[in-house]
Amino acid sequence: MVVEINESDFDEKMKGKCLVDFFAAWCMPCKILSPVVDKVSEEVEGVNFYKVDIDQNSGLADKYGVMAVPTLILFEDGIIKNKQTGYIGKEQLAEFIRNN
């Protein structure tokens, strides 16, 4: 399950392994990626899945260097492990999580 978070609760949510989908409501690739992230969140255990609207949380986008959407950032205990910009398929997303 993917939970939308914002600047006020971001830091407290970054415990353990977390995948954050930085998106924008107007972004077509974000809309296409969203169901892929949803599906992977149902299949991969041990990872918290979140999404952040960059238009409503520009401070987070700035803090983590999100220059384009969609951007997926994999965190472990609040530390960036890897970053992926643009659409990726279900298998590639699962591999991205497993390999980091």
Place of tokens 């809309």: 31
User: Which one of the listed residues 6, 7, 17, 27 is annotated catalytic?
Assistant: 27
Task: Report yes or no on 60 lying in a domain.
Answer: yes
Residue 52 lies in a domain: yes
pLDDT in tens, the chain (100 residues): 999 999 999 999 999 999 999 999 999 999 999 999 999 999 999 999 999 999 999 999 999 999 999 999 999 999 999 999 999 999 999 999 999 9
Residue-number span of the structural domain to which 81 is assigned? 1-7+15-26+48-85
Domain count, the chain: 1
Residue 31 lies in a domain: no
Question: What stretch of H or E contains 2?
Answer: strand 2-4
1 domain-assigned: yes
CATH code for the domain in which residue 52 is found: 3.40.30.10
Q: Which of 2, 18, 30, 74 is catalytic?
A: 30
Residue 53 lies in a domain: yes
30 flagged as catalytic: yes
Strand ranges across the sheet with 79-85: 2-4, 47-53, 17-23, 71-76, 79-85
